[in-house]
Amino acid sequence: MDTTGSVITVEALAKVNLTLEVLGKRPDGYHALRSVVMPVSLADTVTLSRTGGLVALSVSAGEGVNLTHLGPVERNLAVRAARLMQTRYRVGAGARIHIHKRIPIGGGLGGGSADAAAVIRGLNSLWGLGLPRGEMMELGAELGSDVPALAHGGAVLMEGRGEYVTGLFEGVAAEDCKGFWLVIANPGVMCPTGEVFKRWKPGLTPAPHFLHNMRSFVRGGQAEAAAGILFNGLQVGVFERYPEVAGAAARLRSAGCLGCLLSGSGASVFGLVRDEAHGQEVLCGLDGLWGVLVRTCPVV
Ligand code: C5P
């Protein structure tokens, strides 16, 4: 977070789900999940400046980002986060929010949720609220299922509908957690999260030791081993309904990824690669499909 006077700039990191188990449907209509959520080095830049009382939003687009996919301002999670904080804490001040978007919109990469988490962290500081991380995560849970994980930061295990979040590398120094490189590809279609969950059918879920193994493979930077245990319970339904997404995954595979997976509820897919040079090779093999080479960011 970068603070200069009454302006704060926060990097809002995208995420991928290295594992996403859907455990069943809950009485409230949401699905119970168990997911390893991993922030990556693709980020929106959120700039917040203090105003007299209004909350205003402007958005600019990075390469390949289609702003026509952005919903109405009133439904924007970043705006809703600011308004929620204003009313909850009776803040008289407002904020001008500018988001430079690099994360594809509606792509299963948590872009909107990351922006909301960045607004919560930034306004906590800009408005001098002094909220602890747990309270910021609780605010995030009122906005969307992915927000608490992104407000926590770093690699986390996400459970419930997203409201239970545990850091996977608490107390581990960044240099002791290697992580790996991956290529994210996006076919440009939208997969509405609610519809994707509706199509979910109970099936096999991985054994519990997958989680433990994924944690140790990330820490050791063992991309090849991690590629062998990637899992997303929503993938089959999304590939059936959206052939463009299945096509993007096939393209990643034929470009030489170690293993690839749907991220969240789609439409982005990602493939693990051995190192940066291998990632560049895979990118070149994508043949016009939008793609980006990123590093995992397991430790905040
Ligand atoms: O919480 P969020 O607004 O991101 O969720 C969007 C939709 O996705 C929900 O309305 C719900 O239909 C579905 N969903 C679900 N189970 C989850 C998360 C989301 O069924 N754990």
145-160: per-residue pLDDT in tens?
999 999 999 999 999 9
pLDDT for position 299: 96
Which helix (DSSP H) or strand (DSSP E) does residue 185 occupy?
strand 181-186
Taking the C-alpha atoms of residue 229 and residue 149, their distance in angstroms, rounded to an integer, is 21
Closest ligand 1 atom to residue 32 Cα is: 21
Mention every residue, 6+ apart, whose C-beta is less than 8 A from residue 288: none
Could you tell me the two tokens for 8?
A: 């704060």
Cβ–ligand 1 contact at 30 (below 6 Å): yes
Q: What is the mean pLDDT of residues 119-137?
A: 97
Q: Which residue minimizes the CA distance to atom 2 of ligand 1?
A: 144
Share of the chain above pLDDT 70, in %: 99
Q: Which residue minimizes the CA distance to atom 11 of ligand 1?
A: 194
Q: What is the mean pLDDT of residues 7-26?
A: 96
Residue 91 to residues 96, 118, 128, 163, Cα–Cα distance (Å): 14, 18, 10, 25
Quick one: CA torsion of 131, 105, 36, 146, rounded to 10 degrees? 40
Taking the C-alpha atoms of residue 44 and residue 15, their distance in angstroms, rounded to an integer, is 12
Q: What is the pLDDT of residues 49-80, one digit of tens each?
A: 999 999 999 999 998 898 988 889 999 999 99
Could you tell me the two tokens for 161?
A: 């509908």
pLDDT for position 4: 63
Could you tell me the two tokens for 210?
A: 């997958």
5 pLDDT band (50/70/90 cuts)? low
Share of the chain above pLDDT 90, in %: 89
What phi and psi values does residue 109 have, to the nearest 5 degrees? -105, 10
- pTM (predicted TM-score): 0.95
